[in-house]
Structure formats: structure tokens, C-alpha cells
Chain A
Amino acid sequence: TQLLEQSPQFLSIQEGENLTVYCNSSSVFSSLQWYRQEPGEGPVLLVTVVTGGEVKKLKRLTFQFGDARKDSSLHITAAQPGDTGLYLCAGVPFGNEKLTFGTGTRLTIIP
């Protein structure tokens, strides 16, 4: 059983469209991170959210941490081919010292 479930698992959309991917858990997290991984490379940190209800924006990307600190979402506006990649959420659950990665969403933006 995965601690962090991401949905959808795969997403393919046209350039210019908007999209949202989700990261859900039944556990409470002290903080949650989002990474993007491109083929042949390691994951790269995009953002860390630490406060329930927090919203962070990174250009066309908007990250939200759920009020109960159990879930998070990533919204991309006007997707571009450069957004293509594997998006991973990761968090440290309260009471557990191990950083856990989600199952991932593989995003493809079609030009």
C-alpha cells in the first residue's frame, strides 16, 4: 500500500491547456514537496509546502497544501512542452522519519 497516492497516473494534453494533478494520503505530513523528473535525470525539487492551506506559485505552477495536511495539488496553467516529465510528491509523515515519495504522475504536453 502506497502512503502517497498520485492521480492521474498518466496525463497527456495539448499545449496551452490547464491541468491539475493530485497527491493524497490518509496520513498527516509535517511538510510536503513536489519534484519534477525528466528522462535520464534525477528528480528536481520544485517547491516545499509546510503550512496547512498554504498556496505557493512558481510562474505557471500553483501548489496547494490541504488544510488537514493530508493532500496536495499541483495546477499548471497554459501547459508548455517543457512541462513534460514525471511529477512526484514527497513528504515526511508525522511520527515517521522517512521521506516517502508518491506514485508519480507522468505528464506529456503535446505541441
Chain B
Amino acid sequence: DAGVIQSPRHEVTEMGQEVTLRCKPISGHNSLFWYRQTMMRGLELLIYFNNNVPIDDSGMPEDRFSAKMPNASFSTLKIQPSEPRDSAVYFCASSASGGLGDTQYFGPGTRLTVL
């Protein structure tokens, strides 16, 4: 069975450019999560969706970040404009139900480098 799919796996861009990260959750899962991982701050929850609706976006660092989930099989995380401090590994995860304590299945991540 396919797990959570993320693309691209690596992204290198210059400061000021727009970056779009993509995620396909596991089929049948109705909750989707976006995380950011850095050495300094560890793994941080940015936003999560339940049944395609954003439930909590309090972890989104600032207005430059936005996330959408137009349907049950696709989500994007966009950074516009990007800054060097946005460099991190971004993970998408999905779970079968909406409970935050439920098992979350993580994708392989997108390593973003902003020069």
C-alpha cells in the first residue's frame, strides 16, 4: 500500500521566491497534518485538516505560510515569499480519524533550502 506521498523531496530556492510543497495522504484517511522539523526547534505542528477543513493553524509561523486541502487526496503548503529561516524539512502526515492522539503516518518529507 502506498504511504503518504510528498513532493518534491528536495527543493532549493532563492530568497523571495514562492515555494509549494505537495502531499497526498493515505487513501481513506480523513485527517492531514503539516509539520516542520529543524535542529533548533524540533518537530512543530503547523496546521492540520479534518475532512479537508482546517481545524488549527495556530502553528503557522506567519502570513507568508498558507495551506490548502481542496480534496481528500491532496494538500499544499505554500510559502510566499520564502526566507532563509524557512529552511527545514517539512513533513506531511495523515491519520484515519480526527483524534490528535491517533496514529499518524508520516511522509518522507521535503527538505527545503532557501538561499
Give chain A's interface residues, CB within 8 Å of chain B. Answer: 2, 30-31, 33, 40-45, 48, 50, 88, 90-92, 97-104
Contact = CB atoms under 8 A, between A and B. Distances in A.
The number of chain B residues touching the other chain, given as a range, is 20 to 34
Given A42-B4, A48-B101, 20 more contacts: A40-B108, A40-B109, A41-B108, A41-B109, A43-B43, A43-B91, A44-B106, A45-B105, A50-B101, A88-B43, A91-B101, A97-B56, A97-B100, A98-B58, A100-B45, A101-B43, A101-B44, A101-B45, A103-B42, A104-B43
Contacts of A97: 56, 100
B14 to A, nearest CB: 24
Contacts of B109: 40-42
A33 B101 contact: yes
A42 B108 contact: yes
B104 interface: yes
B100 A45 contact: no
B79 interface: no
B59 interface: yes
23 contacts: A30-B101, A31-B101, A40-B108, A41-B108, A42-B93, A42-B106, A43-B43, A45-B103, A45-B104, A48-B101, A48-B103, A97-B56, A98-B56, A99-B33, A99-B104, A100-B45, A101-B42, A101-B43, A101-B44, A101-B45, A102-B42, A103-B42, A104-B42
A8 to B, nearest CB: 15
Given A31-B101, A98-B100, A42 B107 contact: yes
Contacts of B44: 101
Nearest to B3: A42
Among B101, B104, B106, max chain A CB count under 10 A is at: B101
